[in-house]
């Protein structure tokens, strides 16, 4: 049963991003919504065996954070699930550790969920530190979109990428990045959280599919905004981690499109080898 004393649980996963994570936490603690509801809001932070000083610095500066320190890097999905499963809030916010909240982000999404019972999850505008907009809303991918993406034929993905959307209105969307996604806790319990087979990538797409399959909608809230540094951990991924990422990609399309996804395998393999050659040599 949910603890009705908590209205919001914020779940963050960290891996070797001490500075960004501390800035993220600072933005939460200085947020007006958090200030008014600090006793009813909990922050759950899962550290994936960071080798920097993340654990010491976070526990020292923010002792009220529920800090879970893993002995190994479990990947995003497993780590995130461990936080969501103990969350007591009416709503659970999945928040990237490379983000900084702007005033209104928490309150606008919270109020939208409160006032729209058919909304299972709500996300917001993401902007780079220099103010440029990030496109974080997409349609559910078809198999052809995977070929266009991993062959770098991005101009053919304009519909999938919602290139027509200017992010200046609140609309229903298929999927939105879990960099900032506020979800009903009761719904998370029903759908079983992230599919842990997707350890790093496509767990968010799969989660959004499950939200719709259970009769709820996902909305993009244009008045809510968050600064996002952008893919800090995945950009620094080593060979082993990057291999897991590409396995996640293949698994998603295999699970959803069956034997036809076998045609995607050589494309992913070649791209993985090319990216690895540039990243690690």
Task: Look at residue 278 in the predicted model and tell me its pLDDT.
Answer: 75
What one-character-per-residue DSSP string does 188-224 give? Answer: HHHHTSS-TTSSSSSHHHHHHHHHHHTT-EEEEEEEE
Q: Look at the block and give the residue holding tokens 């082993």.
A: 240
Q: What does the pLDDT read at residue 271?
A: 92
pLDDT (0 to 100) of residue 19: 94
Beta strands in 99-237 (DSSP E): 99-101, 119-127, 133-134, 137-138, 171-173, 175-176, 180-184, 217-228
Does residue 271 form part of some domain? no
Whether 265 is covered by a domain: the verdict is no
What confidence score (pLDDT) does residue 4 get? 64
For residue 143, give its domain range: 8-234
Q: Is residue 156 part of a domain?
A: yes
CATH code, domain with 186: 3.90.550.10
Does 244 fall in a domain? no
Per-residue pLDDT at 280: 53
The two structure tokens encoding residue 208: 């959004």
Please tell me the distance from the alpha carbon of residue 186 to that of residue 62, in angstroms, as a whole number.
Answer: 28
pLDDT at position 3 is 44
Domain-located, residue 93? yes
- Spatial distance between the Cα atoms of 195 and 108, rounded to a whole number of angstroms: 28
Residue 105 lies in a domain: yes
Nearest to 232 by CA among 42, 56, 76: 76
pLDDT value, residue 276: 81
In tens digits, the chain (281 residues) has pLDDT values of 444 699 999 999 999 999 999 999 999 999 999 999 999 999 999 999 899 989 999 999 999 999 999 998 888 899 999 999 999 999 999 999 999 999 999 999 999 999 999 999 999 999 999 999 999 999 999 999 999 999 999 999 999 999 999 999 999 999 999 999 999 999 999 999 999 999 889 999 999 999 999 999 999 999 999 999 976 555 566 788 889 999 999 999 999 999 999 999 999 999 999 888 776 54
Q: What is the pLDDT of residue 1?
A: 41
- Using alpha carbons, list the distances in angstroms from residue 125 to 112, 139, 277: 15, 16, 34
Q: Is residue 277 part of a domain?
A: no
- 204 in a structural domain: yes
What radius of gyration, in Å, describes the C-alpha atoms of the chain?
Answer: 18
Three-class secondary structure of residue 172 per DSSP: strand
pLDDT at 239: 81
Check residue 2 and give its pLDDT.
Answer: 45
Helix (H, G, I), strand (E, B) or coil at 68: strand
Count of structural domains within the chain: 1
Q: At a CB cut-off of 8 Å and minimum separation 6, what does 275 contact?
A: 242
């Amino acid at each position: 049963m949910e603890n009705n004393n908590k209205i919001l649980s914020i779940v963050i996963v960290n891996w070797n991003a001490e500075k960004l994570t501390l800035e993220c936490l600072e933005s939460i603690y200085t947020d007006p919504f958090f200030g008014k509801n600090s006793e009813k809001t909990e922050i759950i932070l899962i550290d994936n065996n960071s080798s920097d000083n993340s654990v010491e610095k976070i526990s020292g500066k923010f002792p009220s954070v529920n800090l879970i320190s893993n002995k190994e890097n479990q990947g995003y999905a497993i780590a995130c699930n461990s936080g969501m499963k103990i969350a007591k809030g009416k709503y659970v916010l999945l928040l990237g550790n490379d983000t900084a909240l702007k005033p209104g982000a928490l309150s606008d999404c919270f109020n939208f969920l409160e006032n729209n019972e058919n909304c299972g999850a709500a996300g917001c505008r993401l902007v780079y530190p220099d103010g440029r907009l990030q496109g974080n809303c997409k349609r559910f991918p078809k198999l052809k979109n995977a070929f266009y993406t991993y062959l770098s034929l991005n101009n053919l993905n304009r519909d999938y990428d919602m290139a027509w959307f200017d992010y200046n209105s609140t609309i229903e969307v298929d999927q939105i990045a879990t960099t900032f996604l506020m979800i009903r806790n009761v719904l998370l319990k029903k759908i079983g959280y992230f599919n842990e087979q997707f350890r790093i990538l496509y767990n968010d797409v799969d989660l959004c599919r499950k939200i719709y399959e259970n009769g709820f909608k996902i909305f993009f809230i244009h008045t809510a905004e968050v600064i996002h540094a952008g893919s800090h951990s995945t950009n620094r991924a080593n060979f082993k981690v990057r291999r897991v990422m590409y396995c996640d990609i293949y698994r998603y399309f295999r699970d959803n499109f069956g034997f036809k996804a076998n045609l995607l395998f050589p494309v992913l393999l070649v791209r993985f080898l090319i990216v690895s050659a540039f990243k690690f040599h």
